[in-house]
């Protein structure tokens, strides 16, 4: 019975299901995979008929996974990831070109740890092309699930987003308040004083946003009148170092090199409550390729970690 149902499931069923879950709506999913909304709706209905369970509930607000749908999602994503790897490997065999390793990185890791790790990886595996993408945590985790990237480096996502993924912690990272070296607030420990200045705040989709929100609530700080939400490193530096003289709330890794070079200064505000784990995210059910193992080794060596017990 199970083998019969497995034979009936086609890749179009899996693509339609996974994209609908990722997008949260039939309309957006249909646009992404170039189908009409009625066509993707029928494809999902066919899949539910084959499985004999309801995978999604639909209303005007979008779609939500049922309990059965949450279980099936993991296996659907693993199947698509395996197919992606298989097609990439076949292409590499036919062209003679090495399969690229695709890394997703949050801005804090992309700006600090990753550049040195990339150089070390080039020494360990010089024939392996490397593709690095940065982005928002939810987007990168979705790309990891479906095989569009091989690893993601950054702060651990919310528990509900980490199902089917393995997380190896590298270090704990602080969130800091930084200003230009000539800013009047240099040396200031008073959070209330920041309300008189433009404050760059992490947007809702940023990994550090829940930590910053809780920190503000803990200190009785409401929404500042001059708050501006951004995740852009280039824009943040321009606003902080330029005429705006903004105060920037940001992960330490994003500005670590600026701080070391004296371009930015950390305000002496205790932010230990906003620290969080940064590490390597991978698909938990997948055996790592030699290239992935070598990249992990490069990361750990760059960080100064003893790799003898971390690399199989």
Task: Give 247's pLDDT tier (boundaries 50, 70, 90).
Answer: very high
Claim to verify: residue 269 and residue 212 sit in the same structural domain: yes
Position 91 in a domain: no
Claim to verify: residue 107 and residue 164 sit in the same structural domain: yes
Claim to verify: residue 152 and residue 179 sit in the same structural domain: no
Q: Domain range for residue 31?
A: 2-75
Phi and psi, residue 249, nearest 5° = -95, 115
Claim to verify: residue 241 and residue 295 sit in the same structural domain: no
Report the number of distinct structural domains present in the chain. Answer: 3
Task: Give 282's pLDDT tier (boundaries 50, 70, 90).
Answer: very high
More confident residue, 94 or 57: 57
Phi and psi, residue 306, nearest 5° = -70, 120
Claim to verify: residue 269 and residue 187 sit in the same structural domain: yes
pLDDT at 151: 94
Here the CATH number for the domain that contains residue 21 is 1.10.10.10
Position 208 in a domain: yes
Claim to verify: residue 232 and residue 119 sit in the same structural domain: no
Claim to verify: residue 138 and residue 217 sit in the same structural domain: no
In this predicted structure, which of 4-18, 212-226, 232-246 has the lowest mean pLDDT?
4-18
Claim to verify: residue 267 and residue 183 sit in the same structural domain: yes
Claim to verify: residue 109 and residue 164 sit in the same structural domain: yes
Cβ–Cβ under 8 Å, residues 246 and 128 = no
148: Cβ–Cβ under 8 A, 6 or more apart, which residues?
A: 84, 102
């Amino acid at each position: 019975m199970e083998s019969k149902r497995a034979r009936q499931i086609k890749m179009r069923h899996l693509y339609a299901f996974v994209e609908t879950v990722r997008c949260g709506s039939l309309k957006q999913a249909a646009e992404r995979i170039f189908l009409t909304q009625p066509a993707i709706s029928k494809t999902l209905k066919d899949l539910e008929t084959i499985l004999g369970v309801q995978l999604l509930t639909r209303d005007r607000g979008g779609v939500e996974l049922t309990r059965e749908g949450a279980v099936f999602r993991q296996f659907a994503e693993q199947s698509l990831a395996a197919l992606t790897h298989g097609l990439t490997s076949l292409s590499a065999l036919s062209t003679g070109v090495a399969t690229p390793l695709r890394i997703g990185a949050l801005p804090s890791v992309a700006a600090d740890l990753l550049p040195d790790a990339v150089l070390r990886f080039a020494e360990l595996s010089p024939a392996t092309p490397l593709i690095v993408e940065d982005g928002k945590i939810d987007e990168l985790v979705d790309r990891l699930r479906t095989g569009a990237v091989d690893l993601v480096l950054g702060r651990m996502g919310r528990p509900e987003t980490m199902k089917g993924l393995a997380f190896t912690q590298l270090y704990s990272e602080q969130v800091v308040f930084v200003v230009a070296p000539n800013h009047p607030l240099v040396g200031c420990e008073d959070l209330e004083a920041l309300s008189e200045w433009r404050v760059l705040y992490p947007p809702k989709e940023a990994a550090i946003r829940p930590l910053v929100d809780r920190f503000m609530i803990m200190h009785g700080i409401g929404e500042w009148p001059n708050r501006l939400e951004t995740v852009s490193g280039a824009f943040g530096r321009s606003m902080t170092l330029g005429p705006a003289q903004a105060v920037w709330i940001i992960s330490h890794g994003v500005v670590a090199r600026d701080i070391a070079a004296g371009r930015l200064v950390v305000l002496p505000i205790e932010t230990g409550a906003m620290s969080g784990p940064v590490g390597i995210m991978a698909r938990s059910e997948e055996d790592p390729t030699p290239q992935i193992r070598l990249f992990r080794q490069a990361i750990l060596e760059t960080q100064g970690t003893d790799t003898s017990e971390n690399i199989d």
